[in-house]
Structure 1
């Protein structure tokens, strides 16, 4: 089991990775929420607004 002091020491590394690479976990959460919303609308028979796809 990892002690609380070890977890605290790892946080600066995690924060620096987020600054360098972006917060992938947060991005995945946002996409999952958007997808869930779209699927709820689709199941309720609501036509979603067209969205652009592709690279930014």
Structure 2
């Protein structure tokens, strides 16, 4: 979601102006956390125990 044009959603545009685009920041941070987790946790070499196959 891009910042709303003030004619489309004046209340949202005002909040973005005052507080920043919180949903966009949350999305950015979540994507960064997912990338970090993918790098930190590699389950590729893990095999399940024979009892659970």
TM-score in terms of structure 1 length: 0.57
TM-score in terms of structure 2 length: 0.60
Structure 1, unpaired ranges of 5+: 1-8, 46-56
What residue in structure 1 maps to residue 21 of structure 2? Answer: 23
Q: Would you say how many aligned residue pairs link Structure 1 and Structure 2?
A: 37
Higher relative contact order (CA 8 A, sep 6+): 2
Show structure 1 runs of 4+ deviating over 4 A. none
More helix by share: 1
CA distance in 2, matches of 1:44, 1:37: 12
Structure 2, unpaired ranges of 5+: 1-6, 44-53
Q: How far does residue 10 in structure 1 lie from its aligned partner after superposition?
A: 7.0
